[in-house]
Every structure is written in C-alpha cells, then in structure tokens.
Amino acid sequence: MRAVLWLAAVAVAFAAADTYVVVLALPDMMAGVGLSIEELQRAAPLISGFLLGYVAVLPLIGRLADLLGHLPVLVGGLVVFAFGSFLTALSWDLAAMVVGRFFQGLGGGALVPATLALVAALYPAERRGVPLGLVSAVQELGSVLGPLIGAAVLAVADWRAIFALNLVVGLVLAVAIRRLGRSDAARDRPRRPDLIALLLLLVAGAAFVLLAIEPTALVQDLTWGALYVPGAGSTRWLTPLGLVTIIATLGFLVKCGLRPGVRRVLGRIADEVDLLGALLLSFALAGVILAFATADPEVAVFSEQGTWYLVAGGLALLGFVFHLRRAHDPIVPRGAFARTPAWGSVLISFFVGAALVAALIDVPLFARTTIYGDSQLKAALVLLEFLVALPVGAVAGGFLTRRLPAGVIAGGGMLLAAVAFVFMARWDADALRSLSATVVLVAGGLGFGLALAPVNAAILATTEQSMHGLTTSFTVVARMVGMLVGISALTTIGLRSYYAAQADLPSLSSVCTGGGMCEDYQDLLIGAAIAQEHTVFAGAAVCAGIAALLSVVLLWGAPTRALSPSATVTAL
C-alpha cells in the first residue's frame, strides 16, 4: 500500500507540474483557438475554468474519499485528469478548451486530499511528519519540473503534445495504482469486460478525434464530407459526427451506470452524501473564484461582474450555513473543525497562499523589469532558485515535526519567508546580479517549505480519521483561494503604487532633450515599476508574518510528535 502512496505522490507532482506548463504554453494555446496575445482577457476562462474544477467541488471529493476509500478517488481523479487532457489537446475553440481545463482541474484537485488522507491511514499521528513532508516535497517538485517539461516539449512539438503527454501519464498511473491497490484475491478474480460499453467508448473517442482534427481528405470528400455539415447553426456538435460523439458518450455513461457495482456506489452516495450541502458550498466557492479570477487588477480587486459573483456566492454561503443547522448528516459534520488547530490550519493555509503567490508571480516580473527585459525564459528561471528550496524545506519540516511542535516549525518557516520578502522589498535594479538575492530566494523557499508538513500534520492529528479527506480538502481550498485573493489584492495595491510613482515623473519632453537623455527617462519608468514590486513584496511579507503568528498561536497543542513535552520530562 505504501507503493501506492508514492505513486499517488508522483501523480500529485505531475498535476502540479501541469499548472506551470500551461502558464508557459498559454500564448500558443490561445493561438491554437484563434486568439491573439492582445486578447489575453478573453483567455481568462482557461485559468478560471481550471480553478473552478480544482477548488469548487473539492470538499465533495474529499467527502467521497472518506466514504468510498482513497484508492477509488485517486484512480478516478487520474482518469478525469486524463480525460480533461484529451479534450484540451483536441480543442478547436475556446469553449471546448475551457471544458477540458475544467476536467483537468477536477481530476488534479482530487489527488491532493486523497493522498494526504492516505498518509493518515498508513501512519500514526506521531510518524506522519516525514511522509507528509516527502509528499509535499514531491508536490512542490512538480512546480520546478513544470517549466522544464514545458520548455522541452515546446522545443520539439506544439502545445497539444503537452496534453497528449498528460493523457498517457495519467492513464498509466491510474492503471498502476488500481493494480497495486487491489488485494491478491481481487487481483486473481477473473473479470468479464463490458464489450458494449467498450465499443461505445471507442466509437465516441474515434468520432471526437475525427471531429477535432477534420482530416482534409474526409472534409473535402463528396460523401464523407457530409459528416461535417451541421444540421443547424455552425457548431461542430450539431454535425452528424458531433451527434455521434454525444450519443455514444451518453450511451457509454448509461451502460456503465447500469452495472450492479456502479448502481450500489451511486445509491450509497445518494443515501450518505449531503449533495445539497455540497452544491451550496460549491456555488459559494465558485462565486469567490470567479470574482477574483475575472478581475482586472489595473481597475479593482475584482471586476464589476465580480461583485455579482460575490453576491451570489454570499447567498449560497448563507444557504449553506442554514442547511448545516437543519441537515441530518451535513457535508461538513458538526464538530469537524471544533479543535483550534483544525480550523487554524485552514486559516493559516489562506495566508500562506496569499504570500506564496507573490513570489510565484512577482519574482519573474521583477527579473523581467530589471535585468532580463529581453528574455521571459531567463526571468522565469530566476524563480527556480526559490522553487528548488521549497521541496527541501518540506522534507526538513517533515523531519522536524517528529521532534518539535507543529506551530513552532510552521511559525519559524513563515517568519523566515516574511524576512525574505522584507529583503525583496528593498531590492534595487541590480539586486538579482548579486549572490545575496539568491540567498534571499532560497531562504524564502525554505521558509514556505518548512510550513507545509506541520500544517497538514496538525489538521490530520486533530480531526477524525473518517473525515480526513474532507478536512484536508479545506486546507487545499483555503490555500488556492488565498492565492487568488492575494494576487488580485496585492497586484491592485502594487499598481496604485506604480501609478503614483509614475505621476511624480517629469514629462517626457522635459527629460528627452538629447539623444542619451531618453535612456534616463526609461530608468525612471523602471524605477516606478520596481516601486510597484516593492509594494507587492511588502504586502506578502505582512501575509507571511500573519501566517507565522497564527501558526504559533493556533497550532499549539496539536499532537503531532511522538512525545509531548510533559511526556518527555516524565520519561527522563
């Protein structure tokens, strides 16, 4: 079973890498569906669609992991991730690509709480620190490998090859985890394949591929070309080939749903899962995600439509709270987060995410503004100094959790991150050329890494094992929401600082009196941009400092060590 755990950790790392690969490949993906780089705002659903799948239904998936077991959720998550990659790779327009990205997020998000809960099932509370640290390290390693994988693939193929790779790796990991996770008796038991379901799946897949790639020989053929003529409108889905894809897919789903084992599982979900509560909670999270993910930081923290998203999310949250008071077995059981370290871990994760996103986004921006203005790749590689230190810190935090209080480790780590941001807020235009900048970036990465395992260990140690999938899903949700809110709020504040600095600049005509003087004006503009980054780093330092303080206060007493301090004194 521990081999399954490490395969699950690899799957988590691969899903994390995909996030960074997509950021690198986004311009090519936009071009693939007919969008220019000037239409970046129209491509926002590629990010928000992924986040919706990743975050909005995560509590429901966590609850399913507790109910059905971690292995089915891991396998199912990988299959859904592979399916989303398949859709994205063959997308012919923005809508199809957004749907594919949604399923990628849905599948990738399912892997994290299931893997963390699997650690809790395999290890007692006092021995979870190291495996949690290793899982966190492998996950963060994905953020290091992501840009490298993306650059390697894009060097020899186009962006669709990235998602084809996702498809293959996702299916291979799903088969391996399913095989290793089955008992010997189940492994030896003969299984009869459902030939009709398999045939329907093959028909749906083949029709979708032909629909997506539109082979010239078929499209221009007088007979076969009729398959690509829509019966109404202009959408491909209303062509004969599109209708075959839809009908075969629905037939496959119905055929699978009629199997006795599937019917039992669906019946159990309907009987034991609070679907209404899960729906209300998903709407509440979706409102927050869309409000901040669709924002234009140059205007406000969230967009004009974002106000309505927040209103809708707030109403859904009120309905959810009211539902919790009346439901017999709510999606979030009463008392699930009753202990302070449990809800404290969720709150800390929010501020960790808000601080972390500043490094992920603004360190490359600072590099591009100052010394790598002609190379986006070199600017992005500066961030690797930070990212490489993250998994190292995660492993160290896991080891330390066995001997020191979780709050001390997490608080110390976030304090180190806060100090690193303070130094970043003092960087000048040549700072990245010096060794001291590397020290600051490595220290910041180590600090964030140190906090990961203790926070996860604290929530696992202070919640019931039957709810570990659900409770750990909330730490993931809080971290992702913190990243969304953080980047929107900090960028808005930073841009206001930039505009204020720019307003104080002299006019271009007064400075550019000679040929060389215009370079001086360019330096003044760079100084204004640096002021913006300084503001963002200072805000991140505040968020990291809040996370450090909350860690020390709220994680106190979490039983994450082999021996408590009093037990140690008694043993002496």
Low-confidence ranges of the chain (pLDDT < 50): 184-185, 508, 516-517, 521, 563-572
∠125-128-132 over CA atoms, to 5°?
A: 140
Alpha-carbon distance of 557 to 407, in angstroms, equals 8
CA dihedral 109, 85, 17, 57 (to 10 degrees): -10
Listed in sequence order, the residues at least 6 apart from 130 whose beta carbon sits closer than 8 Å to its beta carbon are 395, 398, 399, 401, 402
Q: Would you say 92 and 26 are in contact if contact means Cβ atoms under 8 Å apart?
A: no
Query: What is the pLDDT, as a whole number, of residue 247?
Result: 93
CATH superfamily, region 1-189: MFS general substrate transporter like domains (1.20.1250.20)
Alpha-carbon distance of 185 to 484, in angstroms, equals 46
**Any idea where the domains of the chain sit in the sequence?**
1-189, 341-572
Outline where 33-125 has alpha helix (H). Answer: 44-51, 58-68, 70-89, 94-122
User: What region, left, alpha or beta, does residue 34 occupy, with left being phi > 0 and alpha being psi -120 to 50 degrees?
Assistant: left
Alpha-carbon distance of 534 to 556, in angstroms, equals 33
Whole-Å CA distances, 252 to 142, 199, 244, 371:
34, 8, 12, 55
Which of 204, 173, 179 lies closest to 77 in space, CA to CA? 173
Which of 255, 261, 266 lies closest to 204 in space, CA to CA? 255
Tokens of 307: 């106000």
Q: With respect to CATH, is domain 341-572 assigned 2.120.10.30?
A: no
Is the CA virtual torsion 212, 216, 217, 222 positive or negative? positive
Tokens 């008992």 found at: 183
User: What region, left, alpha or beta, does residue 215 occupy, with left being phi > 0 and alpha being psi -120 to 50 degrees?
Assistant: beta
